Structure 1
Amino acid sequence: MIRCRRRVVIAATLGIALWGGTAVAHDFWLVPDAFRVAANGELVVRGQTSSAFPTTLSAVTPDRITVARIVGAADDEQIEALSTRENSLVLRHRPKTQGQKLVAVSVGWRHVKETAESFRKYLVAEGAEHALKHYDQTGQLPTSDIVRRYAKYGKTAVEYGSGPRAYDRVVAQPLEFVPLTDPGDARVASQLRMRLLFQGKPLANARIHAGIAPQSGAKPTADVTLSSSEDGIINVPIGSAGLWNVRTIHVVPAPAGADANWDVHWATFVYYVAPTR
């Protein structure tokens, strides 16, 4: 069980990465101000957008949020208090019941029109070379201009008072990390077992990255790169205590009738590993 009231210091820097032919997008993380909140207290979570966990470059505005939920073992509440502060999206909520809570947020589609060459470069820039290779082999890569749309999904888990566990509940995000072991019990030298779902089904052979936030003044450590099993399962090794994230992107042709040619889904899960006592 996490006994931490540690507040995460967010390095907010000004600026947004603008595309010059090829645009580089950013991950979207949910970072709680505290991973343990007293019963009847206010739960505060920041939505961070960047490529350097857990910093943020720009705030996702509330109008872009399509889903914001607090999910417990047997309850599901909407988060209504959404705002921005500096470069962060801020979510505030007082759950009605105690227990472990999943915070789940979906950022709606954004559309980008680009050339076939720009799309290829985008896949490389975002670490999706496996998707580039796959669609090249299947002959599905575009040869003319396309419309690409992308959406992002963040999850985290917070202890609210004391009560039942909720870590393994599926919240039905299009691309979703579902813990199979309790992130609240994660310890150094252990593993966090997770399943990756796409449209509710296990996603096999996905490239997944896991990493820890650098301590103040320290250099970032290298991420761990994993591949999901046929059942969509990964085992994330926990090498040290601190704030962790797991993330992936999934690129697929857009369904028939969609207002785009390609869909890019981004998913993250954030959790805290307490120091060994």
Structure 2
Amino acid sequence: MARWRGMLLGLALALPQSLWAHEFWISPETYRVAPDEPILVHLRVGENFKGSSYAYIPPNFTRFDVVMGDEVMAVEGRAGDRPAMNMAVGQEGLAVIVHQTRAYDLTYNEFEKFVNFTKHKDFTWALDRLEERGLSGQKVRESYTRFGKSLVAVGNGQGADREVGLEIEIVAEANPYTDDLSAGFPVRVLYQGAPRANEQVELFARSGDEVVVSQYRTDAEGRVVLPVEAGVEYLVDSVLLRELEVQAEGDAAWESIWASLTFRVPE
């Protein structure tokens, strides 16, 4: 078992990241707007902070809101709208855009891709569990749901992010538009309201066409301080993998839930 697992992990290291990394994120056209201007937001899926824009399709999401302090406003649109959000909030402050997709199903027709996914997202324990659960040699089936947030400054941009009740979420503990970030940008990762301790957090930093990817780990309280620079757009990503009970042939054996947070540090 150990030899088999080691050979697969070696193969994972040799293959390009694009085979297994497909993040979801909320992508505003601009991160600062006037109170009477619409916030234009794309929903994107891709790798290395580059991806296709998806339209406003109500059956594909279970939540799409703007949160400003204690006020929660539903994002409304017409099916097929692109960008997916075109909405003015009519007040100043920090707008937290929140989006939760429906659950999707995925079958890994090439086992190496599942190996690569577990390596990239720090879930290599799942390889051992395949054999322990009697699933080795079968196609790997997974269910996945995405939970995205994005921070947009409306007018003065004052305010704070907060927990918004997502099953997995990243909470910004500083305001990128009003706070001093010289010591870094603190975030907290939560799962079902509890801190995710000692878990991997991935940071994508985009400046122009260049994207730099780095990885960090949360502390015992689910916190991590991320290095940021002025004029750079950021995507913070954290993923959780859990087992599902297989009751019938074709059932998903795994479920991944993905949290993302986007923002841009002003120049």
TM-score (norm 2): 0.79
Please list every run of 5 or more consecutive structure 1 residues that lacks an aligned counterpart in the other structure: 1-21
Which of 198, 201, 211 lines up with 1:220 in the alignment?
211
Find the counterpart in structure 2 of residue 76 from structure 1.
72
Q: CA deviation at 1:82?
A: 5.4
Q: Does the CA contact (< 8 Å) of 1:112 and 1:149 recur in 2? A: yes
SS at match of 1:106: strand
Partner of 1:231: 221
Q: 1:50 is matched with which residue? A: 46
AA partner of residue 151 (structure 2)? A
Q: Sort the Cα spacing of 1:70 and 1:127 in 2 relative to 1 into closer, same or farther, 3 A.
A: farther
Q: Which deviates further from its counterpart, 156-165 or 233-242? A: 156-165
Residue in 2 aligned with 1:11? none
Residue of structure 2 equivalent to 1:18: none
Q: Which has the higher helix share?
A: 2
Shift in Å, 1:256: 8.5
Aligned to 1:267: 259
Match of 2:30 in 1: 34
Is 1:253 aligned to residue 243 of structure 2?
yes
Deviations 1:81-128 (A, max 9, x none): 25557xx6521222254321100111111112347x72x632424644
Deviation at 1:76, TM superposition (A): 0.4
Shift in CA distance, 200/32, structure 1 to aligned 2, threshold 3 Å: same
Q: 1:178: Cα distance to partner?
A: 0.4
Counterpart amino acid of residue 248 in structure 1? S
Q: Does 1:159 align with 2:158?
A: no
Structure 1 CA distance for aligned equivalents of residues 87 and 219 of structure 2: 36
SS in 1 for 2:51: coil
Superposed CA RMSD in Å reads 3.0
Preserved CA contact (<8 Å) 2:55 2:79: no
The structure-2 alpha-carbon separation of the partners of 1:272 and 1:141, relative to structure 1 and needing over 3 Å to count, comes to farther
Q: Deviations over 1:6-40 (max 9, x none)?
A: xxxxxxxxxxxxxxxx9735211112122222122
Counterpart Cα distance in 2 of 1:126 and 1:251: 9
For the residues of structure 2 that align with 1:175 and 1:186, how far apart are their CA atoms?
Answer: 25
Question: Aligned partners of 1:248, 1:70: CA distance in 2, in Å?
Answer: 21
Aligned length: 245
Which of these residues, 190, 195, 205, is aligned with residue 197 of structure 1? 190
What amino acid sits opposite 1:226 in the alignment? Y
Within 5 Å, give how 1:129-140 maps onto structure 2.
130-133=122-125, 136=128, 139=132
Where do 5+ consecutive residues of structure 2 fail to align? 1-17
- Per-residue displacement from partner, 1:219-252 (whole Å, max 9, x unpaired)? 433x221011121111101145311111122111
Cα 1:207–1:166, aligned 2, differ >3 Å: closer, same or farther? Answer: same
- Evaluate the alpha carbon distance shift between residue 97 and residue 164 of structure 1 in structure 2; reply closer, same or farther with a 3 A threshold: same
CA distance in 1, matches of 2:121, 2:44: 25
Provide TM-score, normalisation by structure 1: 0.76
Cα distance in 2 for partners of 1:265, 1:156 equals: 17
Give the conservation status (yes or no) of the 8 Å contact 2:61–2:99: yes
1:195 Cα deviation after fit: 0.5
Indicate the larger mover: 131-140 or 154-163: 131-140
Q: Deviations over 1:114-150 (max 9, x none)?
A: 47x72x6324246446312366279458323453101
